[in-house]
Structure 1
Amino acid sequence: MQLDQLLEKLDYTCIQGDVHTLVTELVYDTRKSLIKDCVFVCISGAKHDGHDYIDEVVKNGAAAIVVEKDVVLPKDVTVIRVESTREALAVMSAAYFGHPANKMITIGITGTKGKTTTTYMVKSILEKVGIKTGLIGTIENIIGDDVIPASHSTPESFIVQQTFAKMVEAGCECVVMEVSSQGLKHSRVSGFTFDYGIFTNIEPDHIGGDEHKDFEEYLECKSKLFKQCKIGLINRDDSHFEEILKGHTCEVETFGFSDQADIQAKEVRLLNKQGYLGIAYRVEGLMNFDVELNIPGKFNAYNSLCAIALCSHFNVSVDKIKQALDTVRVRGRVELVPVSDKFSVMLDYAHNAMSLESLLTTLKEYQPKRLVCVFGCGGNRSRDRRFEMGEISSRLADLTIVTSDNPRFEEPQDIINDIIVGVKKGPGQYVEIIDRKEAIRYSIEHALEGDVIVIAGKGHEDYQEIKGVKYHMDDRELIRDAAEGL
């Protein structure tokens, strides 16, 4: 491939060399093999800067280097200067893989909460009418029949385009993906225009450290999606509705409980049956029908309404929508695990104070006999999180069972001791059981009729990390093992 073909849609300056240079491969990570005559894009990251590895890259035979800083290189190496090498990588990756996004319908979902659940709902509905749909998300990437565990909500732009290309090859007509604020901030989804962009909600999160300096930046990054899509579907009820749309270039359609929304959820009611928690409501506005979900929480009315709003653009019948929503399951997101008709057991990925509070507040609305929360906190993470989560659980749950999560390089007992400092600030009862398997067994063996038990923190994860080693541990299996003795 000629270098100028990769640069075709970029603003750039050729500092030295020839843009008509033949290149063998597009590379941005020095940890991967550097093939002779490749083009290397220098990414400036939080921990590593690709510009620092230029000598090594040139020594290995790179034909061209793309930079955003001043560099001095031998004259036989082509040097391309751009304003942002992350943006350049995205645009070049799209060209490198033959612009696969143009060969599918692309759907991007952003928001603080609800991205994961909504992507699965969309995929489920579209596949009910025979639209083969790929998925890129926090839990996994799905390409046809292949399911690959995910490492990031939104992968690097090269991986995004590579995944799109594989989806096209697998016959996918559509792709639905989670679009994180970091993904937008670092141009991981640049280089193409989404057909549909979706906004679920926004709350203060991902602030500080290597993420966002403040809420304003977080909000601004989320809003970028609506300058990069053709049609935007927006939660009309969110208090930052107007700010998310600031400067938008897309057509806009809204969903929500509000009478001002284009598609509305009305008569929302909780469903509490034997061993089953769910929600029901009526869809009004652009469509009119009744919906019932076996996933608890009013927030799932938003998630499903969002999926309905999108799928209305695909002319999906009401019956197909209802069938899909009745069967959709999202691994580790308020996931009900059938154990008994007398009490409910579920697991959820809630692993910080905000998500745990939202989860427990939602479950309390179902007025359980007791709300039991089993959780721990990860090692080598903020101690403040432990104090906060302990206090929240004690305030909202009747019984907190404090156990181990991923202790990493800390001692599990030290983490538990921190959590209990927070637990003691609330009125709830608590027990500590360091072994997660035994903690889950205790919650089920001591369950009362009408209880709701939530196993929080790990969700879709199927491992426990101790001293740098990941050991197999799946909360689903632990729940079922404990239930066998009932």
Structure 2
Amino acid sequence: MLLKDLLRGLKVKEIQGNDKLFIKDIAYNSQKSSDDSLFICIEGLKTDGHLYIKDAIRRGAIAVIVQKDVKVEGATIVQVEDTRKALALIANRYHHQPSTKLNLIGVTGTNGKTSTTYMIKKILEINEKKIGLIGTISNWLGNEKEEDDRTTPEALDLQRLLHRMVKKKIKSCVMEVSSHSLELQRVEECNFTIGVFTNLTPDHLDFHETIENYRNAKKKLFYKTSFYNIINIDDNDGKIILDEIKHLDTPILTYGVNSEADISAKNIVMTIKSVSFDLMTPSYEEKIKINIPGMFTVYNALAAITTAYCMRIDREQIKLGLQSIKGIAGRIEPIEEFKEFAVIVDYAHTPDALENILKSVKGFVNNKLITVFGCGGDRDRSKRPVMGEISSKFSDVTIITSDNPRSEKPTEIIDMIVEGIRGNKEKYHIVVDRREAIRKALKSAVKGDIILIVGKGHETYQIINENVIEFDDKKVAIEVAREEGIL
């Protein structure tokens, strides 16, 4: 595609060189620049693409898009006001506007995004078979699974992925839409059919600074939809968002348990292995059962059901889709090898998520609830003492350990968690090494106990300084149990 065609509709401040070049590829990472490619300089949180222009040209880039004044020879230089916006627009155009050819469903919120997207995927698969999914755990193109390290990929990677789905004749894609992706314009050129809001609790405040900024970032999704917006009306921020978007042309459906909602759950019954409820919709009532325990499962299911309902999917297909779910990796996932006591792994890494799962599990435990958790480094520090207080309140024993400390000292993170713990100091222990913390929990457990290992869930690594080491809570628990003769 010609460079001048890619630039169409973009606010260009200056062009130095030929804009009639034929562009064969696009990159925002200089190491991925190739012959006759366009390199777009993005200012990231840790580095700046403008520093790598010469490297991109050396690798074959013939045109560069910048937002700063630069003097470089050997390529056409295009200066724009915002290179992130340029990346989104150009990536979308280069890949032939793939989101306009898909039924694209976006799910945003602090907690529940992953579970909700998987539930929607399962329901849609009953009817469409091949479904696309973009999210925290992995991306799916029908039956093809791909790993990614971002909840929502960068604009170029996202448009490329959507284009591949279109080529594979996938008709619907459900994706997690993070607040970062909305604020950093990764989804700027996406045309969403449906937008879903799950909930909002303090998180990522290291990036957004205030809860208002965080909510406003999430709210951007609902200005990008064409068919329906779906809001959890039980959530206070959901009510605020609802009030602020009700003037839009896009219709709104609400869901909830405690508020008057379009779609709701009544007569909720929970066991250690499942949850069931009476589904109430404007058109019908239905009994629903899902093999994942917890009140949060009810809310995630309602979000998925409301999505399917507005798509006019038959109630039997909704039931079949939800019944087919055996579990979601790292989401209240039991380790089946343990029989005398239960060991559960979960991704909960925010105060609200931790409280929700502790409350759910507390209702099933026959003896002690032992919680193993830590907090990530280089992330929102304010939640650390709050999570310490929550764990000490609902757990019989808390073992505080490392999560992904990154560049921070694990002991300093732990000290901040301990600040929130009040009362009996015998209720918590500090074991910095996560493997040894899991060992302590397993060795102290007796029949009827539940050990809850939270914070990492599906992750198979641990980040310590610049090192990424292999660490899977499930595998480590089994290995340690065998070393100790427990299994």
In the alignment, the residues of structure 2 paired with residue 9 and residue 373 of structure 1 have an alpha-carbon distance, to the nearest angstrom, of 54
In the alignment, the residues of structure 2 paired with residue 46 and residue 397 of structure 1 have an alpha-carbon distance, to the nearest angstrom, of 36
> RMSD between aligned alpha carbons?
3.1
Moved more, 417-426 or 7-16: 417-426
TM-score, normalised on structure 2?
0.87
**Counterpart of 1:298?**
295
Judge conservation of contact 1:395–1:427 (CA < 8 Å) in 2. Answer: no
Report the alpha carbon displacement of residue 255 of structure 1 after superposing the two structures with TM.
1.4
Query: 2:217 aligns to what SS in structure 1?
Result: helix
Judge conservation of contact 2:138–2:148 (CA < 8 Å) in 1. Answer: yes
Judge conservation of contact 1:394–1:426 (CA < 8 Å) in 2. Answer: no
Judge conservation of contact 1:396–1:428 (CA < 8 Å) in 2. Answer: no
Select the residue among 209, 215, 218 that pairs with 2:211: 215
Q: Which amino acid aligns with 1:220?
A: N
Counterpart check, 1:347 vs 2:348: no
**Counterpart of 1:237?**
234
Judge conservation of contact 1:395–1:428 (CA < 8 Å) in 2. Answer: no
Judge conservation of contact 1:228–1:249 (CA < 8 Å) in 2. Answer: no
In the alignment, the residues of structure 2 paired with residue 120 and residue 12 of structure 1 have an alpha-carbon distance, to the nearest angstrom, of 41
Judge conservation of contact 2:335–2:343 (CA < 8 Å) in 1. Answer: yes
In the alignment, the residues of structure 1 paired with residue 409 and residue 63 of structure 2 have an alpha-carbon distance, to the nearest angstrom, of 48
Residues 67-105 of structure 1, C-alpha deviations (whole Å, 9 max, x = no match)? 33344555x854434332111111111121222222321
Select the residue among 222, 225, 231 that pairs with 2:221: 225
Judge conservation of contact 2:204–2:379 (CA < 8 Å) in 1. Answer: no
Distance 1:319 1:448, change over 3 A: farther
Distance 1:104 1:366, change over 3 A: same
Judge conservation of contact 2:203–2:380 (CA < 8 Å) in 1. Answer: no
**Counterpart of 1:38?**
37
- Give matches, 1:67-146, under 5 Å: 67-72=66-71, 77-146=75-144
Query: 1:134 aligns to what SS in structure 2?
Result: strand
Q: Structure 1: where are the runs of 5+ without partners?
A: none
Residues 443-470 of structure 1, C-alpha deviations (whole Å, 9 max, x = no match)? 3454445433211122111234456444
Report the alpha carbon displacement of residue 375 of structure 1 after superposing the two structures with TM.
2.3
Report the alpha carbon displacement of residue 321 of structure 1 after superposing the two structures with TM.
2.2
In the alignment, the residues of structure 1 paired with residue 118 and residue 441 of structure 2 have an alpha-carbon distance, to the nearest angstrom, of 29
Q: Which amino acid aligns with 1:364?
A: K
Query: 1:63 aligns to what SS in structure 2?
Result: strand
Q: Which amino acid aligns with 1:49?
A: D
In the alignment, the residues of structure 2 paired with residue 61 and residue 409 of structure 1 have an alpha-carbon distance, to the nearest angstrom, of 35
Query: 2:274 aligns to what SS in structure 1?
Result: strand
**Counterpart of 1:310?**
307
Distance 1:60 1:455, change over 3 A: closer
Distance 1:185 1:294, change over 3 A: same
Report the alpha carbon displacement of residue 432 of structure 1 after superposing the two structures with TM.
4.7
In the alignment, the residues of structure 2 paired with residue 47 and residue 466 of structure 1 have an alpha-carbon distance, to the nearest angstrom, of 17
Moved more, 23-32 or 377-386: 377-386
In the alignment, the residues of structure 2 paired with residue 72 and residue 447 of structure 1 have an alpha-carbon distance, to the nearest angstrom, of 65
Distance 1:59 1:444, change over 3 A: closer
Counterpart check, 1:184 vs 2:185: no
Moved more, 192-201 or 320-329: 320-329
Query: 2:344 aligns to what SS in structure 1?
Result: strand
Counterpart check, 1:26 vs 2:26: yes
In the alignment, the residues of structure 2 paired with residue 402 and residue 480 of structure 1 have an alpha-carbon distance, to the nearest angstrom, of 20
Moved more, 180-189 or 13-22: 13-22
**Counterpart of 2:163?**
165
Q: Identity, % of aligned pairs?
A: 39
Q: Structure 2: where are the runs of 5+ without partners?
A: none
Q: Which amino acid aligns with 1:125?
A: I
Residues 418-456 of structure 1, C-alpha deviations (whole Å, 9 max, x = no match)? 655655655662345555445435534544454332111
Select the residue among 268, 275, 279 that pairs with 1:279: 275
Residues 122-163 of structure 1, C-alpha deviations (whole Å, 9 max, x = no match)? 111111224311211111112233322221111100010111
Q: Which amino acid aligns with 1:400?
A: T
In the alignment, the residues of structure 2 paired with residue 372 and residue 64 of structure 1 have an alpha-carbon distance, to the nearest angstrom, of 57
**Counterpart of 1:265?**
265
Judge conservation of contact 2:130–2:141 (CA < 8 Å) in 1. Answer: no
